[in-house]
Amino acid sequence: MKPLSQTRKKVFFALLFLITCSYAQVNTGGNATKANHQKQIIGYITNWDAWKNNKAGVPGAGALTHLNIDYSKYTILNYSFFGVAKDGSLHSGDHRNKNIHKKGVSQEPNDIFFTDIYSSWDLHILFGEIEPLQYINEDAKKRAEAQGFEVEVNGRSWKQPTWGLSGNLPLPLHKETGAPGLLELAHKNGVKVMASIGGWSMCKHFPEMAADPVKKEKFIEDCKKLIATGFDGIDLDWEYPGPYSGMNFTGTEADFQNFVNLVDDIRNAIGPDKLITSAMSADPRKLEGFNWNRLSKSMDYFNMMTYDFNGGWSNKASHNAPVYSYTDAEVPFFNWQSTLKKLNELGVPNSKICFGAPFYGRGVVTEGTAMLNSKTVKRSETVQPDGPISTSADYTNWKKEVYDGTPNYFFIKQKALAPNSGWTRKWDDEAKVPYLVKGNFFLSYDDEESIGIKAQFINDNSLGGTIVWTVYGDLEFGGSVTSYGSKLKKWSNVKSPLVNKINEVFANGNGGGNMAPTVNIAAPINNTTFETGKNIEIKVNASDRDGTIVKVEFFNGQKKLGEDTSKPYSYTISSAQSGDYNLTAKATDNKGLSTISKVVKVTVIDEGQNTAPEVSIIAPNSGDSFTEGSTMVIEAKASDVDGSIEKVEFFRDDKKLGEVAKLPYKFTVNDLNVGNYTLTVKATDNEGAKTISKAVEVEVVKDITDSCSQYPDWSSQVSYAAKSDVKYNNIHYRNKWWTRNQNPKNNSGQWQ
């Protein structure tokens, strides 16, 4: 492309400046903006939500775009998503192969932007109002060249060298007097824009690209195109590196080193002044394989996806994004606190950690009346992009074709939080999140209360900030609408309560938030049995780090038993009646903030009544991982205070595996298959009373090691010709080209 004359450049940018300055961005109110704090608020902005219409609770298509975002509330915006093709090149998310979920199907290379302006929002969102030109005259040629296009007068095609694209007319020209695009509007308001690559459905070729120097070179060249287009950095959304399953592939241990090498190569290509971030799993098990020390040197932020802990795939109706662990959680370490604990153990700098705030909910269908931890009811469905799945997602209230069971917060407010909706809001004071129930429908979500707690968690732990999925999730539209061309629309009155709350809490820092008290029941212990007529003394420990305890209230379920206003905090149930008791204590501090303890369950039985046995799984532990084909020994502990144990039965996902009638209570599962295992045991006593244990969740992954005893050990002193076989740490490797002194585990793609 011939360079523009300096005069033409000055005229174009002067005009652009005047137009941009005259365009007023949305102001969603609130009491603070990013200018009032130093935290990062990183929002994901998608290219597909713009299609949503009134069925999704917005005024119409074109509402969910960059024009209706308050840029004063965000520091970084991640444009999502670009996909990775089989040759390593990048493509627009609108070019995703709709059959990519099928075995053996690949993603063919395609354009980095979807330039059909009638079928995609790519150009409209990134570059603003489009004026499609059907004819090229001298004036059109000058305008086109000012925007980086190459055209000929009377020609029928165009080229855009920066994008590496070309096409036939119409020319997708930005209208100079029209609405600005995301890149322009964000930069005007001091917001950086990242190109986010991957996402749940477009990661299949990440592992092979990162391992292959030729494919990686194509990938990096396209990253450089995006930087040249105006993006401020690269956000990697590889779900997931390591020997874990994504939507349509399973990775290997080699991914961890290849990920580090890829980040270093991107850094070398785009320079030190651009950003590199990554969306990363919040599952503590998936974090251990990375070289965090090296990543911390090359990357700016680690964006932890601290949501989607539970959903339609879960066996229990549970929380999408719990801050803390809660009683009977299906996976006890699926929460913010456990993720941060693991990151701290691994030495990841808190200042580079951003935790994810979901501006949406997840609905499921339960067996019987919906409650927290109710059993979910799964069925077969076919969805995009996953294909055939087994799910308990609620498509009755949150339609599959609109929300796929995951409604935005604004839609939840419209449908479930409106008067007479039939939904009941509940609060889990252990997890610090709300949920909604109606009949056999359960919805986990976040609102201003829980989002405020999450923001304060980020403050209290000195984290870098938060990521928001997505920036559209809390938008509420009102007022008049202005159209810009055939697609873009801007509303005069837009509110964003959740991101406003985040900014307000960040602005207040630690000083703005009263710290909640801590409380736990010291006695009785969980699962204690008492006889009818006996007294039950409840003893509680309560304290407050930045104030005093005003009172401690005692509850059985929802019924208040009494309260105590001074230490030692206690309450006695006199002459207890038979039945099951769910005891909790609620501590309130001098500023009115309260915390509820974990539930302690006790049983009161009539004298001489048979007491049910106690049983638990002592091995394996939740979170343990086994390799395919290996053996797993399930060991249980069972006892009966007034009799004997007749048998202990072992179950996986409610399917009986076997039983044992005497000590030791062990059962062996041979030749394990890949998958997730929900293990329980059931103990039966000599009078027929039964007790089922708390579930233990384990996973079985593919065995990535080969039987490689026949191969020589790798040596740093040996030169290896192409296709040489060696073993290293009992893993078989084969090199693709000549190499010497290149450790197979920490290599740059020579070994596979």
Read out DSSP for 572-607?
A: EE-SPPSEEEEEEEEEEETTS-EEEPPPEEEEEE-T
Q: Distance between CA 446 and CA 361 in Å, rounded?
A: 7
pLDDT at 315: 96
Q: Are 686 and 646 in contact (CB under 8 A)?
A: yes
Q: Which domains does the chain have, with CATH numbers?
A: 27-115+181-358+448-510 (3.20.20.80), 518-605 (2.60.40.10), 614-701 (2.60.40.10)
Contact between 145 and 136 under an 8 Å Cβ cutoff? The reply is no
Question: Mean pLDDT score of the chain, rounded to an integer?
Answer: 90
Alpha helices by DSSP H, listed for 27-166, are 122-127, 138-146
pLDDT for residue 511 is more than 50: no
- Give the closest residue to 228 by CA, choosing from 324, 292, 164: 164
* Residue 16 host element (H or E): helix 6-22
Extract the tokens encoding 403. Answer: 């929300």
Instruction: Check whether 19 has a pLDDT greater than 50.
Output: no
341-346-347 Cα angle (round to 5): 100
> What is the per-residue pLDDT across 240-299, written as a single tens digit (0 to 9) for each?
999 999 998 999 999 999 999 999 999 999 999 999 999 999 999 999 999 999 999 999
* Rounded average pLDDT over 460-475: 96
The whole-number average pLDDT for the span 710-723 is 69
Give the tens place of pLDDT for each residue, 569-612: 999 999 999 999 999 999 998 888 778 888 898 989 887 788 88
Examine the pLDDT at 16 and tell me if it is beyond 60: no
CA atoms within 13 A of residue 464's CA, in its CB half-sphere: 22
Q: Return phi, psi of residue 458, to 5°.
A: -65, -40
Q: What is the pLDDT of residue 12?
A: 43
| pLDDT score of 3 | 39
| DSSP-H helix ranges across 230-380 | 254-270, 292-298, 336-345
The Cα 485–Cα 497 span in angstroms is 29
The alpha carbons of the chain give a radius of gyration, in whole angstroms, of: 29
Q: Indicate if the pLDDT at residue 390 is higher than 80.
A: yes
CB 215 within 8 A of CB 208: yes
Of the ranges 516-520, 579-583, 708-712, the best mean pLDDT one: 579-583
Q: Helices 213-229 and 254-270 meet at what angle, rounded to 10?
A: 40
Distance between alpha carbon 491 and the CA centroid of its chain, in Å? 29
What is the pLDDT averaged over residues 293-316?
96
Instruction: Give the model's confidence band at 445: pLDDT under 50 very low, under 70 low, under 90 confident, else very high.
Output: very high
Which pLDDT band holds residue 79 (cuts at 50, 70, 90)? Answer: very high
- Dmax (CA) for the chain in angstroms is 101
E strands along 310-396, which residues? 353-358, 362-365, 379-383, 387-391
Calculated CA dihedral for residues 140, 145, 148, 151, nearest 10 degrees: 70
Return the pLDDT at 5: 40
CB 342 within 8 A of CB 286: no
| The pLDDT value given to residue 703 | 66
Residue from 99, 124, 100 nearest 114 by CA: 124
3-state secondary structure 521-580: EEECCCCEEEECCCCEEEEEEEECCCCCEEEEEEEECCEEEEEECCCCEEEEECCCCCEE
